[in-house]
Amino acid sequence: MADEAHPFPKSAQLARGPKRTRRIVATKQEWAAIAELKQGPCRICRRVESNGSVHSTIELHHLVRRSQGGDDVPDNIVPLCGACHRKLHDGRPGLAQLRLTPSEKRYLRSLGRV
């Protein structure tokens, strides 16, 4: 604790926090491959019409948000229909309702998220 008699030393003022790792950002070609791989029914509601065949697209959701350092890799991305995607971001069906593959679970475990 600093007070007038004992101010913070300059070294503490300039100290950097722990080094952050840079997240993996996909190129356009990598995104195209991820999108093709992740087409399928919504991982929450599993409705057949949510597989991109009735609606023109399925929305891709990052399990670990980009803003929290989530990578653009297939194991961090799941397909969701628009309705479930909005509900998930509104906090209604939690991540517990998502049906994850073993590799997606391993990815989350490696980051200490599960």
Report pLDDT for 75.
93
Output the CATH code of domain 22-110: 1.10.30
Predicted pLDDT of residue 92: 72
In the predicted model, what is the mean pLDDT of the chain? 80
**pLDDT computed for residue 3 by the predictor:** 62
**pLDDT at residue 88, rounded to an integer:** 86
Task: Specify the pTM.
Answer: 0.70
- Other C-beta atoms lying within 10 Å of the C-beta of residue 26: 16
Statement: residue 30 has pLDDT above 90:
yes
User: What DSSP line would sit under 64-106, residue for residue?
Assistant: S-GGGT--SSGGGEEEE-HHHHHHHHTTSS-GGGS---HHHHH
Assess contact for 41 and 54: CB atoms under 8 A.
no
Q: What is the C-alpha to C-alpha distance for residues 37 and 108, in angstroms, rounded to an integer? A: 19
